Structure 1
Amino acid sequence: MSTPAHDTTTGATPGTDARTDSGTTADPLTRERTHLTASRSALRAMREDAEALNIRDVTANWVNAEVLARQIDDRIKALADLSDTPLFFGRLDYLHAPGLAAAEGADGERFYIGRRHVHDADGDPMVIDWRAPVSQPFYRASKKDPQDIALRRRFGYTGGELTAYEDEHLSDPAEAAATSKLLQQEIERPRVGPMRDIVATIQPEQDEIVRSGLGGTVCVQGGPGTGKTAVGLHRVAYLLYAHRERLARTGTLVIGPNRSFLHYIEQVLPALGELSVRQATVDDLVAHVEVRGTDEAPAAVLKGDARMAEVLRRALYSHVTMPTEPVMVVRGSRRWRVPAYELEEVVRELLDRDIRYGAARDALPQRIAHAVLVQMERAGEAPDDRVQDAVARNSAVKAAVKAVWPAVDPAKLVLRLLSDPEFLAEHAEGLLDVEEQKTILRAKPARSVKSAKWSAADAVLIDEAGDLIQRTHSLGHVVLDEAQDLSPMQYRAVGRRCTTGSATVLGDLAQGTTPWATRSWREALAHLGKTEGVVEELTAGFRVPTDVITYASRLLPHIAPGLTPVASVRENPGFFEVRATGEGPAEVVAACAELLGREGSVGLIAADARVPALADALTAAGIGHLTPGEETTLDTRLTLVPASLAKGLEYDYVVLDEPAAVVSGEPDERTGLRRLYVALTRAVSGLIVTHAAELPEQLGE
């Protein structure tokens, strides 16, 4: 079993193993603090070595110098020693040297496991990166499968100071397995500010996902508090460690639902030493036009339907027409004629190849020029590539290409589809019925692309059209969080960014709050273009208290039938209370003031329409508050959160105002209940539900 945690006053508790490497009695906590001090000194020396690098005479030109300087600067930043972050959080004592069998007689080794690699002046490791293969048993070794580990030690910290340790003798059959107290305390520790990494508390089922290979796409279904977002971010960090050169060339991207969410998670990867991962929303990816308009829900659902991809493809290729006139190319005193039937063969061949519209258009003049060169060779000439390029640039060839395969602007194409009933009807035949076509047509057609009031769904259509014309650049790996809220067309937009790479898809079907929310992960993976993706489910809740998740799970039969409820593994049941209040915000403000008397962050979540009145009430009461995305401080720990922005965020304590208003604030009851489920599950330590109106009947006993 785990020995009791040792604190700073005792050093070690009676009856526990407190020996040094040589077997003599000593104070283990003092020894570990000494190693921590030495490790910090070694890290500082590594940083100073990087800062002292002189690259003036090692680069051939200023471009290489600039690139190398940037790489060194990133290296210096990655070696920063964060004073309030533990440099290492665990230790592994192997029975034998890793990779060697017991019969070979190799003595065991000791490794300190931390956020990054640290070595001394001789190059010997002081701290091993948590992603290294030798570190894996820290997360997966157990009494049933000790993986050659004699002892696993966990460390407890206050700020950056080592204050406690706890041992598990995995190879000792006399000890029974027990829950780690330090691990439990770290999981349940109050949080203030942005999301932290979970590198010290990754569980075996999470570690399997984190360390899954780069070549495969993984979809993680996880209820509130199961750590799916953290798992996705740590998988990025692991992949960057295991495939750094490849991903340095191809790039990585984390996609979140909104800016508030991205701000909340933005410190996780830098804390793990990874500074090069870009973060964006889907709207950022498809920002080809300025979004100034909105769609009614029925129109947004149809524009996000996967059928629109085929409508766009038909509309685009309708611009290609078969040639009816020959092309006459004049060179010097000679004329070369390419007949219409031969031009038609070239055009049909390009269409049959199913390459991008723009790529085919670029290839067409070269194909025509090739037909001319064949005639030249038959006439006894010996043309080369320069002649072919010159023919391809001939005015007659250019005119033929313009007539047969004209250039198309993606935004203009989408605008015509949404504005011209006849054009839409022609290309939506058999795909969208008459009523559906009327639903997406603009009431007032815009005069130009610039004057059009584009919606977010329109921007996705333009992105689709743009990809049909010119292939979108593909990255090595994409993480897509809160994926359950994406439309099929949005999935396609994300999938275009990783056609030659892989993805990590994260979400919870029960938290889908858009009219087009995902119905199944298999369907989502198909739209993403990753049908081979593996679906994993996380059901152990580490962040949401038992009483809170049990209460919220009453909604699951109504919003996601058949989905496995989250089972909280927290020892602390948390603070939970439902309070009937009078009209007005006074008692809501009082509940916030009560929770501010506790340690940690506080979130007041309310239906969007009620937020302004609550903001005024908090100000009148002298209680400072923030908006989502703003940094909490010791003086201001309360965030006023519109229910529409609560997804993905966490607070130690939450006051949920008027659940019925959260439900009624959505277009339909099911979406409203899902929004309520999200709001109910944002609390890490405690939740107060306040209501003057009747609670939704789905929350009944």
Structure 2
Amino acid sequence: MTSPDPAHAPAPDRGTARELARERAHHDACRAALAAMVDGARDHVLTAADVSASGADAEVLGRRLRTRDRRMRELPAGPLFFGRLDFGHGEHAGQSYHVGRLRVGVDPAAPPLVVDWRAPVSRAFYRASARDPQGVAVRRRFGWTPGSRGDSADLTGLEDEHLGAGTGAGADPGTGAAAGTGRILADEIERPRVGPMRDIAATIQPEQDDLVRGDLAVSVCVQGAPGTGKTAVGLHRAAYLLYTFPQRVRRGGLLVLGPNRTFLTYIAEVLPALGETGVRQSTLADELARHPVTAADDERAAAVKHDARMAEVLRRALYARVAVPGEAGAPDGLTVPDGSYRWRVPGEELARVVADVRAEEPPYAVGRERVRTRIVALLRQRAERRTGPRPAAWVRRIERARAVSAYVDAAWPKVRPEEAVADLLGDPEALERAADGLLDAEERKAVLWPKPPRSYRSARWSAADLVLLDEVAGLVEHPEGYGHVVVDEAQDLSPMECRAIGRRARFGSLTVLGDLAQGTTPWAAREWRETLRHLGKPEAEVVRLTTGFRVPRAVVEVANRLLERLDVAVPPARSLRGGGGLRLRPVPAGEVLAETVAAVREALAHEGSVGVIGADTGTAAVREALAAAGIGAAGPDRPGERVTVLGAGLAKGLEYDHVVVVEPAAVAEAETRGLHRLYVVLTRAVSRLDVVHARPLPFDGPPVLDRSPVLD
């Protein structure tokens, strides 16, 4: 075995050196082939521009070729393969395939130089074992210099597993000695992280691979403990679906929803590294942003607005605008002039039309046009009984007749979502009628606007109001939706937010990612079935990932001590990674900042990123203390910096090699579900964790002062 880190690599023996030379030469051939592929994509665009075709065909062809050209040119630099499969028997007996992030070949009809990690043949790279070799004789992993941009000289090591021999042990290609531990794989998983999230195409584990390669039609919910790679699974599943079902997914579109923009910045490079560009990555707040957020709700009002009961309140309020003939204020009867004739429809027939359409429960806007169409059909029947068939021009003229439009406007009036919500929240009587039997008096009082605007046009909207607007917009007209939606940190979604996402995947599928223990919003989920029901996917399978590969065992164990105090049925996490380090650093009151600076200074002696996380209100003081000590620190919106200071509210989904937690008790007390927030903070470390505190720790166990060097 040769280490992937040249600083620690022993001198390769003669056999290993020959293998490395051959693999570097192959990589050079792959780079030349990729360059030809990029140039070829551009040539196809230029050639197609000169090809004579119908306008529609030329447009479709041009769009496809330009998209392929853009995707090829936007590929980030890096090694072109990370593994190799040598098959001893089965369908691919005698064949060798290099596995990488995308297919590289000289000619589409010729065997590829590199096969895409998503191709069916590549699955054996992740699934083969000594117990089930799947035809693989040797699985080879390659070690590359960290941060390599694809120079062949950066290929520094390789490691073979001889699966066909039935042992499953790795072996050095030069000596045949068993490697056993798979050091290249372990080094890649544990490699220090500075900057945005990396893909895990080289390190996907079998249980993760099962989720990644799930069928497009299947929705799945992943309950993932910290460090189990659930975010990476979701992103790689997106890439797999785009590769395997390109037409179906791209026709409907693919949406990745993250909890905040900081998180989106952190994951932004994963899909491009896997060869997939043009995927919409957004937050739910951005998707719902019909208006700027210029108002704020107190916690009580927000909780009621996010409650699932509001969906029925809004539906009642919207359809209360429909006036069935015979009811108070409803028009009764219709007369439509037509030359010398006047066609009349009595109120009873109109009442049946409106009542029938309401009973069908179509989208509000569809129902309005359905009423118009059926009224015109009644008029047409009368006209044809008297004078024979009516031409299409006659039908169009009657549809636009002033009397018909006036009747439809009176019976089924047009409405904007803003108008419906403003009328509901600004009128106590309208709210009481719509919420009767659903919300009590205190809940109605909580959501009622204290000073209603003169009209919806001057309304100031809160974040929760935008969720209500989206619900009404979905009642008025169903959104087009996406072919697949990946939702991360889904445990924090309210029922009403889930409904908003469900509308966008009404005819598509979902990958739902989250951890109930990390739920920090007042409406955070305590079990997944209810969340899936609100998402419109009650049949989705819940898969639990409990084994972590990056967060060290010592960090997982201290987080599990806190897990016992959280009101969720989540099994304790476990880690396959030893080493790492944990230090609980109690200090006298007034010395927390000084000890934090000392912890950061010690952390900088190690490789990797350093995250300093405390209560949201204390980040400015921490940043000032570090600056006074000559240590520069960035905010979480700059993921490439060595030291980052951030509040606990922004920590979710992020990872740092070394985390310094500042005063956990302050984090726990800052919000209603503060213990859950602290659980998130404690599990952001993927190598070492320092906990600086002057107050008692919120988790059980005596504080331990350990100023000895951290063991890696």
Tell me whether the two structures share a fold, i.e. TM-score over 0.5: yes
Cα distance, 1:547 vs. partner?
0.7
- Aligned mates of 2:343, 2:424 — CA distance in 1: 40
- Aligned mates of 1:74, 1:192 — CA distance in 2: 31
Q: What are the residue-to-residue correspondences of 1:122-133 with 2, within 5 Å?
A: 123-133=110-120
Q: How many matched pairs? A: 676
Q: 1:395 aligned to 398, 402, 406, which one?
A: 402
On the 8 A contact 1:628/1:640 being kept in 2, the answer is: yes
Q: What are the residue-to-residue correspondences of 1:256-335 with 2, within 5 Å?
A: 256-323=258-325, 324-335=331-342
Give 3-state SS (helix, strand or coil) of 2:134's partner: coil
Cα distance, 1:444 vs. partner?
2.1
Tell me the residue number matched to 1:630: 638
Q: What are the residue-to-residue correspondences of 1:269-668 with 2, within 5 Å?
A: 269-323=271-325, 324-571=331-578, 573-582=579-588, 583-584=590-591, 585-632=593-640, 636-666=641-671, 668=672
On the 8 A contact 2:161/2:169 being kept in 1, the answer is: no
On the 8 A contact 1:218/1:534 being kept in 2, the answer is: yes
Q: What are the residue-to-residue correspondences of 1:238-249 with 2, within 5 Å?
A: 238-249=240-251
- Aligned mates of 1:601, 1:175 — CA distance in 2: 34
Tell me the alpha carbon deviations over residues 351-401 of structure 1, each in whole angstroms, 9 at most, x when there is no partner: 111111110102222211111110111113220222112111100000100
Tell me the residue number matched to 2:177: none
Tell me the alpha carbon deviations over residues 462-483 of structure 1, each in whole angstroms, 9 at most, x when there is no partner: 1000110011111100000000
On the 8 A contact 1:33/1:162 being kept in 2, the answer is: yes
- Aligned mates of 2:322, 2:274 — CA distance in 1: 52
Q: 1:86 aligned to 74, 79, 92, which one?
A: 79
On the 8 A contact 2:224/2:514 being kept in 1, the answer is: yes
- Aligned mates of 2:213, 2:189 — CA distance in 1: 21
On the 8 A contact 2:118/2:243 being kept in 1, the answer is: yes
Deviates more, 1:146-155 or 1:46-55: 46-55
**Given the superposition, is the C-alpha separation of residues 13 and 206 from structure 1 closer, same or farther in structure 2, using an over 3 Å criterion?**
farther
**Given the superposition, is the C-alpha separation of residues 484 and 378 from structure 1 closer, same or farther in structure 2, using an over 3 Å criterion?**
same
Tell me the alpha carbon deviations over residues 584-612 of structure 1, each in whole angstroms, 9 at most, x when there is no partner: 52221222122122211111101011112
The amino acid of 1:116's aligned partner reads: L
Structure 2: which 5+ residue stretches go unaligned? 171-179, 326-330, 704-712
- Aligned mates of 2:556, 2:567 — CA distance in 1: 15
- Aligned mates of 2:5, 2:618 — CA distance in 1: 47
Deviates more, 1:586-595 or 1:71-80: 71-80
- Aligned mates of 1:442, 1:83 — CA distance in 2: 51
Tell me the residue number matched to 2:128: 141
The amino acid of 2:371's aligned partner reads: L
The amino acid of 2:131's aligned partner reads: K
Tell me the residue number matched to 2:200: 198
Structure 1: which 5+ residue stretches go unaligned? 20-25, 100-106
On the 8 A contact 1:488/1:524 being kept in 2, the answer is: yes
- Aligned mates of 1:405, 1:442 — CA distance in 2: 27
Deviates more, 1:358-367 or 1:399-408: 358-367
- Aligned mates of 1:440, 1:699 — CA distance in 2: 43
Cα distance, 1:68 vs. partner?
4.6
Cα distance, 1:614 vs. partner?
1.5
Tell me the residue number matched to 2:33: 42
On the 8 A contact 2:527/2:568 being kept in 1, the answer is: no
Identity %: 51
Cα distance, 1:65 vs. partner?
5.7
Deviates more, 1:610-619 or 1:301-310: 610-619
**Given the superposition, is the C-alpha separation of residues 407 and 553 from structure 1 closer, same or farther in structure 2, using an over 3 Å criterion?**
same
TM-score between both structures, scaled by the size of structure 1: 0.93
**Given the superposition, is the C-alpha separation of residues 451 and 590 from structure 1 closer, same or farther in structure 2, using an over 3 Å criterion?**
farther
Cα distance, 1:620 vs. partner?
2.2
Cα distance, 1:240 vs. partner?
0.4
The amino acid of 2:533's aligned partner reads: A
- Aligned mates of 1:627, 1:129 — CA distance in 2: 36
Give 3-state SS (helix, strand or coil) of 1:201's partner: coil
- Aligned mates of 2:319, 2:512 — CA distance in 1: 33
* Corresponding position: 1:74 with 2:72: no
* Corresponding position: 1:180 with 2:173: no
Tell me the residue number matched to 1:115: 101
On the 8 A contact 1:312/1:465 being kept in 2, the answer is: yes
**Given the superposition, is the C-alpha separation of residues 454 and 322 from structure 1 closer, same or farther in structure 2, using an over 3 Å criterion?**
same
- Aligned mates of 1:512, 1:446 — CA distance in 2: 35
Give 3-state SS (helix, strand or coil) of 2:113's partner: strand
Alignment RMSD, CA only? 2.0
Cα distance, 1:5 vs. partner?
5.5
- Aligned mates of 2:169, 2:53 — CA distance in 1: 63
Cα distance, 1:550 vs. partner?
0.6
On the 8 A contact 1:12/1:29 being kept in 2, the answer is: no
Give 3-state SS (helix, strand or coil) of 1:92's partner: strand
Q: 1:166 aligned to 155, 159, 162, which one?
A: 159
Q: 1:98 aligned to 79, 87, 91, which one?
A: 91
- Aligned mates of 2:586, 2:10 — CA distance in 1: 48
